């Protein structure tokens, strides 16, 4: 009889093999884990749909499933009910509208993602 560890490993393997965002995140984004790097959830979803239009191997996802997979991939989320601002390391202040944002992620111009570990 399988143990809980076996079930967890099998479930994790199944989920990862069906993780429609894994390659996309690795190939199109840098995962910085910095809260100053953010993109609106809607813009991120639109970027996925645009990339999918040129790559038929990518799965079609609803916005809800996309959000669930972003959470599964440990992409941070912030929800703001009023406008806010962020100051980057260079002291540049950026203003943002209220809404949902993914944090710790930057779109790459081209190439593969760079994962930055917390120290």
**pLDDT value, residue 14:** 65
CA nearest neighbour of 44 among 16, 84, 76, 17: 76
Exposed, middle or buried, 87 (CB in 10 Å: 0-12/13-18/19+)? exposed
pLDDT at 79: 97
pLDDT value of position 103: 96
Helix (H) or strand (E) holding 40: strand 38-40
Q: pTM for the complete prediction?
A: 0.77
How confident is the model at residue 96, as a pLDDT? 94
Under-70 pLDDT residues of the chain: 1-3, 8-17, 110-119
Asked whether the beta carbons of 50 and 28 are under 8 A apart, the reply is: no
């Amino acid at each position: 009889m399988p143990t809980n560890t076996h079930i967890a490993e099998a479930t994790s393997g199944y989920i990862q093999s069906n993780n429609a965002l894994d390659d996309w995140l690795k190939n199109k984004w840098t995962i910085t884990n910095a809260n100053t790097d953010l993109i609106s959830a809607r813009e991120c979803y639109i970027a996925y749909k645009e990339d999918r239009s040129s790559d038929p191997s990518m799965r079609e996802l609803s916005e809800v499933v996309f959000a669930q997979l972003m959470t599964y991939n440990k992409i941070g989320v912030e929800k703001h009910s009023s406008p806010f601002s962020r100051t980057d390391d260079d002291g540049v202040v950026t203003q943002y509208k209220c809404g949902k944002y993914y944090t710790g992620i930057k779109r790459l111009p081209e190439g593969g993602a760079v994962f930055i570990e917390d120290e």
